[in-house]
Chains A and B, each alone.
Chain A
């Protein structure tokens, strides 16, 4: 099939235009890399080690999962201030379910294989129901989302407290804590398998997109550009897996249970962590949310409603029900983030997720989601969360005091949005 459609003249383009890359994505990745390189220099090369990159990734997961949902909320011109508190209520439900309710009321023995899954289901349902209730108040009762979720912030933080009597609940189930990060990883072999499958899927998706365009006679980018984009994506995925696989398990950890790492004795045993389950969870969430945003009616309606609520309504879209769905989705994502956050700690505490709402909103906004509605991307929110976490970890490694850290993060948030507005003004897009 011909790459050039005679009906549509191909104008001369520079390299970046030929590649058809999103300039804002490039800008975000650029600033993320800049942050990493600066900290790497300041820490004499300790920032960009496999170990730190591994830690950075697992620290980002919880906020990043919620940020993908916050994109939809902000795109439809709402806000959700309750995600951190909702996370706490969900972890309280999950912790109580697995340590007390199931063992004491239902009589399932501690360590029963069903316990973690029932607890997770309970947490997800809690998140979905609370989110839907908040969405109903916003959508059907027309209470501003700011107020509903500000109320939610106070309510759900303390419902969590009330359920647990303010006590720390733990230790959590052995299977449940696998979602925490370093405690549950795929190992070298399966990490490569996941990496290769992901690469193959990405290349197939690009190829089929190109075929579709050709089939309809739309202009496609030059073949060399397509191949270059594919190569960059493959290198990024496999490079990431390689870095995680380069983080080897310290010998003293192997010594605790050599059989776990496929060795008889700890001496001379080389094992690596590989891809953590929590990161895999984030990747799945990111893919699902991106597909929803770009390829489903639900996503189309979310963006249409954000761009012009009246037009969406006149087009027959039930914008009220849409609001319920979006807030419910955020509730489910808060519960998922709660699994990761409490599993990482190994127990539920009262202050779990405190101030997460602000980190989540900041991540979405740094990632290019416009508070005026209609504009935002899932990948942007995840990169935003990564930038925030890198700044925080980097400054901690350099030895910046906590108050100064917050001053810098706050300034970066404002600066990032300012730069984005300047960029959009220049390209003539909606601010």
Chain B
């Protein structure tokens, strides 16, 4: 089998004695969507935040394309071409779409000043592709609808040619139409060879979008299965009981 794009090996993190993630291993291949399922507080978001650099793991290893990676900050994570769409979207509400898209990676002029014109032009281009209805480029993102805000967050991840994409509840705040758009986008990115970690509560949706699903409970990995090998009920029982019925059988 080919070298995994991402390999997290025996990763643990504790917050004040609570083992939020306890000895978890997971891998992701290029062109693959891996879903992370589990109750609130199961440790999904925490696991992924160690990959995106928001948290520093206590122990364990991260390997990216077969090489040991050190991720201590969000900037480190970006250096490995990992992009994250957070559940909270992590947008600066007072700034416009272009400023948010390029936040931390502004395009500059030769003199080192931020080049708002070029950033706005680039934003128009990518938005025309992702969400053709998006017109409010000059307004602070606080004035946008949930779906439009989501497109800004997605554009930010897609624009910089990510190899690894982390999507934390990307469709939680969206309407039916916008959810379908996100699903279509995930399919397209997968074809381009990106590896995607997807976090969601919606088991039905995960069965449609993912190649494999991993279920977590109380900070531990319950099991990882290919979606065609399991039923939705199997997944649900893994989430609720914290046991892998196939492993037990």
Give the interface of A toward B (CB within 8 A): 212-213, 215-218, 291, 295-297, 299-301, 303-308, 310-317, 374-375, 428-430
Contacts and interface: CB of A to CB of B under 8 A. Distances in A.
Contacts of A316: 73-75, 78, 104-105
Contacts, number: 88
B26 interface: no
B10 interface: no
Nearest to A291: B113
B99 A314 contact: no
Given A315-B74, A316-B74, A374-B94, 17 more contacts: A216-B117, A216-B121, A291-B113, A295-B113, A296-B112, A296-B113, A297-B114, A300-B95, A300-B99, A300-B103, A303-B95, A308-B92, A314-B86, A314-B90, A374-B92, A429-B142, A430-B140
27 contacts: A216-B118, A295-B114, A296-B113, A297-B106, A297-B108, A300-B95, A300-B103, A303-B95, A304-B99, A304-B103, A306-B94, A307-B93, A308-B91, A308-B94, A310-B90, A311-B90, A312-B103, A312-B104, A314-B52, A314-B86, A314-B90, A315-B103, A316-B75, A317-B103, A374-B92, A374-B93, A430-B142
B117 A313 contact: no
Contacts of A428: 143
B113 A314 contact: no
A308 B90 CA distance: 7
Interface string B88-131: 11111111000100011110100011100110110000000000
A429 B54 CA distance: 30
B93 A308 contact: yes
B75 A216 contact: no
Interface string B61-97: 0000000000001110010000010101111111100
B121 A310 contact: no
Contacts of B112: 296
B241 to A, nearest CB: 34
Given A314-B54, A314-B84, A430-B142, A303 B113 contact: no
B117 A311 contact: no
A296 B114 contact: yes
Contacts of A312: 92, 103-104
A304 B100 CA distance: 8
Contact of B140 (A296, A297, A429): A429
Interface residues of B, number: 32
Contact of B117 (A212, A304, A430): A212
Contacts of B104: 301, 312, 315-317
Contacts of B120: 216, 218
A215 B117 contact: yes
Query: Could you say which of B73, B78, B114 has the most chain A C-beta atoms within 10 Å of its C-beta?
Result: B114
Interface SS majority for chain A:
helix
Contact of A314 (B74, B105, B117): B74
Contacts of A429: 140, 142-143
Query: Could you say which of A295, A308, A310, A430 has the most chain B C-beta atoms within 10 Å of its C-beta?
Result: A308
Contacts of A303: 92, 94-95
A383 to B, nearest CB: 21
Contacts of A306: 94
Given A296-B114, A297-B106, A429-B140, A307 B95 contact: yes
A313 B113 contact: no
The 9 lowest CB-CB distance pairs between A and B, nearest first, are A307-B94, A316-B75, A374-B94, A307-B92, A315-B104, A311-B90, A304-B92, A316-B104, A295-B113
A216 B89 CA distance: 28
B156 to A, nearest CB: 9
Contacts of A315: 74, 90, 103-104
Contacts of A217: 121
Interface in B34-64: 52, 54
Contacts of B90: 308, 310-311, 314-315
A181 to B, nearest CB: 33
Contact of A311 (B75, B78, B92, B108): B92
A218 B121 CA distance: 8
A304 B140 contact: no
Query: Could you say which of A218, A305, A313, A316 has the most chain B C-beta atoms within 10 Å of its C-beta?
Result: A316
Contacts of A300: 95, 99, 103, 106, 114
A218 B95 contact: no
A303 B93 CA distance: 10
Contacts of B142: 429-430
A305 B114 CA distance: 17
A300 B94 CA distance: 11
A430 B92 contact: no
Contacts of A212: 117
A430 B106 contact: no
A212 B107 CA distance: 15
A313 B113 CA distance: 21
Contacts of B74: 313-316
B56 to A, nearest CB: 13
Contacts of A213: 117
Contacts of B93: 307-308, 374, 430
A300 B107 CA distance: 12
